[in-house]
Amino acid sequence: MLRYHAINKSYDGAKALDRIDLDCPAARTTVLIGPSGCGKSTLLRLAAGLIRPDAGEVRFEGAALGPDNLRAARLRMGYVIQEGGLFPHLTVRANVTLVARELGWPRARCEARLLELATLARLPVGLLGRYPLEISGGQRQRAALMRALMLDPDLLLLDEPLGSLDPMIRVELQEELKTIFERLGKTVVLVTHDLGEAVFFGHRLVLLRAGRVLQQGSAADLLERPADPFVSAFVRAQRGPQWRLEPGAGTI
Ligand code: ADP
Ligand code: MG
């Protein structure tokens, strides 16, 4: 479905991606994980055609993305950028239906799809007329997901879609998102820096460091068969200090 082939990308001489080969199979969730600055968002921007590789190619459904096919390919992708990226001056309704209206969808079709997505993403219909700043962080993420799903894309690119949410809302949305991905059978590439979230979502996990893939495989592969000392260090750091309550602890 989506394949990165021998990708290099530098910014001002600094390598952001260094010979990346990566396959994101259809109807599966591939989770990109790794420390800040390792190149996760750059990989999604390449897939969405916002930036071009210095070398190598991104293939979507077997065809290398380029000027000729980018727009058509882009319409088959839903993309949620880091921080959601809703336009603050547009209502939720206008944000979600923006591209469909540009494509000339009739009003009734836009509205029907909007209501279908509100049900799917469990966003109360009464909020559709509000502006992004007038709804909660969790509701904004639901709206951003609705916008990404509007054209029923084959591929979803989600850049830390739950990054800024408080833990309880985050867990609730994680479960709902996973159900949505499975129900719709979507191909998903999801970025997170949270190992617990990666394990929860990922059929396949791809751990990056400094623009290179250190290890890819199942959660069990990364946790039990780390391919590199950095993988173990990353896992250990994310597990954090273990809570241990001694008998009598907490009593006054
Ligand atoms: P991540 O999403 O994993 O935190 P990014 O893909 O955003 O990392 O960035 C990878 C590297 O490329 C970082 O070192 C970052 O500073 C650099 N980078 C990303 N975008 C730009 C840009 N537009 N200009 C210069 N450097 C950039
Ligand atoms: Mg990022």
Radius of gyration for the alpha carbons in the chain, expressed in angstroms and rounded: 19
Asked if residue 249 has pLDDT above 60, the reply is: no
Asked if residue 157 has pLDDT above 80, the reply is: yes
133-152 average pLDDT score: 92
Ligand 1 center to residue 78 CA distance, Å?
21
CATH 3.10.20.600 holds for 23-49+66-76+155-242+248-252: no
Q: What is the dihedral of CA 43, 49, 55, 58, to 10 degrees?
A: 70
- Protein residue closest via CA to atom 20 of ligand 1: 42
CB neighbour list of residue 247: distance below 8 Å, 6 or more residues apart: none
- Protein residue closest via CA to atom 6 of ligand 1: 39
Between helix 107-120 and helix 92-102 the angle, nearest 10°, is 130
pLDDT digits (tens, 9 = 90+) for 23-69: 999 999 999 999 999 999 999 999 999 999 999 999 999 999 999 99
* pLDDT computed for residue 177 by the predictor: 87
Q: Is 39 in the pocket of ligand 1 (CB under 6 A)?
A: yes
- Protein residue closest via CA to atom 27 of ligand 1: 11
Asked if residue 226 has pLDDT above 70, the reply is: yes
N-terminal to C-terminal alpha carbon distance within the chain: 59
Q: Best substitution site from 22, 42, 79 to test ligand 1's pocket, by max atoms within 8 Å of Cβ?
A: 42
Ligand 2 center to residue 82 CA distance, Å?
7
pTM value is 0.91
Q: Which atom of ligand 1 is nearest to the CA of 43?
A: 6
Residue 180 is encoded by which pair of tokens? 């949505």
Asked if residue 239 has pLDDT above 90, the reply is: no
* pLDDT computed for residue 63 by the predictor: 93
DSSP state of 83: T
Q: Best substitution site from 9, 36, 38, 81 to test ligand 1's pocket, by max atoms within 8 Å of Cβ?
A: 38
CB neighbour list of residue 3: distance below 8 Å, 6 or more residues apart: 22, 23, 24, 58, 59
* pLDDT computed for residue 241 by the predictor: 58
Do the Cβ atoms of 148 and 181 come closer than 8 Å? no
Q: Is 207 in the pocket of ligand 1 (CB under 6 A)?
A: no
With H, G, I as helix, E, B as strand and everything else as coil, classify residue 79. Answer: strand
pLDDT digits (tens, 9 = 90+) for 160-188: 988 777 888 888 889 888 988 888 888 99
Please tell me which residue, 203 or 148, carries the higher pLDDT value: 148
* Average pLDDT score, the chain: 90
Distances in whole angstroms, Cα of residue 133 to Cα of each of 145, 172, 235, 239: 16, 21, 36, 34
Extents of the domains making up the chain: 23-49+66-76+155-242+248-252, 86-152
Q: Is 41 in the pocket of ligand 1 (CB under 6 A)?
A: yes
* pLDDT computed for residue 250 by the predictor: 54
Query: How far is Cα 139 from Cα 149, in angstroms, rounded to an integer?
Result: 15
Q: How far is CA 126 from the centre of its chain?
A: 27
Asked if residue 240 has pLDDT above 80, the reply is: no
Q: Kindly indicate the confidence band of residue 115, based on its pLDDT and cuts at 50, 70 and 90.
A: very high
pLDDT digits (tens, 9 = 90+) for 70-92: 999 999 999 998 887 899 999 99
